[in-house]
Structure 1
Amino acid sequence: MKKLTLTLSLFFLLTNVFAQKIELSVQTSAALLHFAGTSTTSQTIINTGATPYTNNPYGKEAGLGYSLGLQAQYIAKGGFIAGVQTGFDRLRSKVDITGVTPQYYLDYNFNYAPFPAKGETYLTTQDINLSPYLGYRFIIKRVKLDLMPGLDLGFNLSLYDRGSAKTTGDQTTYKTNYREPNAPTDVRLKLSLAAMYNRFGVTASYAHGVTNYESNIIGDNSYQAHSELFRFGVSYRIN
């Protein structure tokens, strides 16, 4: 009992000592995701069948997603910052569909070009995000400007290839809703900026992925696809 009382007393003492220097915030952001690397593309086709899928879902075009999160950061003397952000990401990249290969072509190995089609596929990923960082705070009049380089870790919950395209000939619509297996944890290098006035702020960040989404292709290092992510949002400091 004495140990419990001592532990609780120490906890509350430390909380009171550091509370004035720890900032807690809630954040929401619009997110733009696209892929870069030798395996990425702006245009591809849909392969149909029992499980239709996009031939190459790693699109160079950005799709619109969102992020929701919490931030806790410690402000040390001199303006140095140590903090962490965590939350939920729903991100999308985009690739244009220019053709469709029907299943019977694949079954009989006919050497025909795909049917011309128009549409798009969105590679949709849902992640739990963790972003530790160190940084520095600049104060410009009444505005607090935080510069925060760090890491961005996306622990994948699901990764889906969702697309739709209509053939230009008979106007048939083909759709995909294929779950990509073995989605990796996406490790990204991140640079964030935040400008705070009173309790309200605006945020912006860029994260460059170092994880290769095509690493499952064995024996050929030329297959490369990594994420690039921009976020723009608002925040509210709750303490």
Structure 2
Amino acid sequence: MKKLLLLLFTILMVNLTFGQTTESILGLHSGLFSFQGYSAEKSSQLNLASNGTTGYTNNPFGAKNGLSYGASYQIQRITKGNFIAGIGIGYENLRSKTTITGVNGYDKTGTFQDVASGQTYLSNKQVNAFPYVGYRVGIRQVSVDLTGGLDIGYLLSSTEQGKATADNGKTYSTSLDRTGIKTDIRPRVQVTVFYRKVGAYTSYAYGLNNYKSGWVGGRNDCNSTVIRFGVLYKIKGN
């Protein structure tokens, strides 16, 4: 991994040195974030604490897509041969989702299990860097950028927020810090279309880091996937 990062950085620096056009770009994006792997689940249950109304999600690493959002700034150089080298820096909140199907708890009569409906979102707030290289195809005022690189996400926090309503009408909730790993490395491919200074893009990234690394008991295998849809505006460049 270190050798790959060094290679990308070297290519980026060479292109920045000998490139002919510099572009500075602001971006806003939404997206779909979820977990994949043996430990990711589409449904789970709430385990209640002694107060009977709050607790934790048995498995908050949802295999369902949650709506995410973020903002970014990127700078890139375009060579005479239309090769691209650049880097993007941004902040984003990546959220996965799992459906809650029941609650487990205890009261004066002992333990109980109730059927319930709701959802838990695992919110991963992070600062993200995206060094990339690629190629531009231009058709008059329209250009298409085909790029690939690495997302390097530094996690600021990871928090579960869950809510479910049982068949008896009682509502339960959860709010818990789930911060574990601090860095998520994701290979990423992206297609961007520009018309003059305005652009739109879509990208896909798959995480290499296990979010359940260090967990004890059972098989712990949980990686991230991100699909982004964004809009861009060139504050510098054609």
Normalising by structure 1, what TM-score? 0.85
Shift of 1:140: 2.3
- Are 2:64 and 1:66 aligned? no
Given residue 225 of structure 1, which amino acid in structure 2 is its aligned partner? C
How far, CA to CA, are the matches of 2:216 and 2:101 in structure 1?
28
Residue 81 of structure 2 aligns to a residue whose secondary structure is helix
Does the 8 Å CA contact 1:184/1:213 hold for their aligned counterparts?
Answer: no
For residues 54-103 of structure 1, the C-alpha deviation after alignment (integer angstroms, 9 at most, x for no partner) is 11011111111111000100111211111001110011111000011125
Given residue 45 of structure 2, which amino acid in structure 1 is its aligned partner? I
Match of 1:188 in 2: 186
RMSD (Å), alpha carbons = 2.1
Match of 2:166 in 1: 167
Shift of 1:18: 7.6
Match of 2:41 in 1: 41
How far, CA to CA, are the matches of 1:189 and 1:144 in structure 2?
23
Q: Which aligned pairs between 1:90-169 and structure 2 lie closer than 5 A? A: 90-104=93-107, 114-169=113-168
How far, CA to CA, are the matches of 1:203 and 1:87 in structure 2?
15
Q: Which runs of 5+ in 2 are unaligned?
A: 1-16
Does the 8 Å CA contact 2:19/2:80 hold for their aligned counterparts?
Answer: no
* Percent identity of paired positions between Structure 1 and Structure 2: 38
For residues 95-114 of structure 1, the C-alpha deviation after alignment (integer angstroms, 9 at most, x for no partner) is 00001112559xxxx99662
Does the 8 Å CA contact 1:33/1:64 hold for their aligned counterparts?
Answer: yes
Q: Which runs of 5+ in 1 are unaligned?
A: 1-16
Does the 8 Å CA contact 1:129/1:152 hold for their aligned counterparts?
Answer: yes
The aligned length equals 217
Residue 78 of structure 1 aligns to a residue whose secondary structure is coil
Residue 220 of structure 2 aligns to a residue whose secondary structure is coil
Match of 2:199 in 1: 201
How far, CA to CA, are the matches of 1:183 and 1:104 in structure 2?
35
Does the 8 Å CA contact 1:146/1:194 hold for their aligned counterparts?
Answer: yes
Residue 96 of structure 1 aligns to a residue whose secondary structure is strand
Does the 8 Å CA contact 1:47/1:103 hold for their aligned counterparts?
Answer: no
Structure of larger gyration radius: 1
Q: Does the C-alpha gap of structure 1 residues 193 and 37 become closer, same or farther in structure 2, counting only changes over 3 Å?
A: same
Normalising by structure 2, what TM-score? 0.85
Given residue 132 of structure 2, which amino acid in structure 1 is its aligned partner? Y
Residue 49 of structure 2 aligns to a residue whose secondary structure is coil
Match of 1:210 in 2: 208
Residue 101 of structure 1 aligns to a residue whose secondary structure is strand
Does the 8 Å CA contact 1:30/1:231 hold for their aligned counterparts?
Answer: yes
TM superposition outliers: structure 1 runs of 4+ over 4 Å: 17-20, 110-113
Q: Which aligned pairs between 1:16-35 and structure 2 lie closer than 5 A? A: 21-35=21-35
How far, CA to CA, are the matches of 2:139 and 2:112 in structure 1?
61
Shift of 1:19: 9.0
Does the 8 Å CA contact 2:18/2:79 hold for their aligned counterparts?
Answer: no
Q: Which aligned pairs between 1:1-12 and structure 2 lie closer than 5 A? A: none
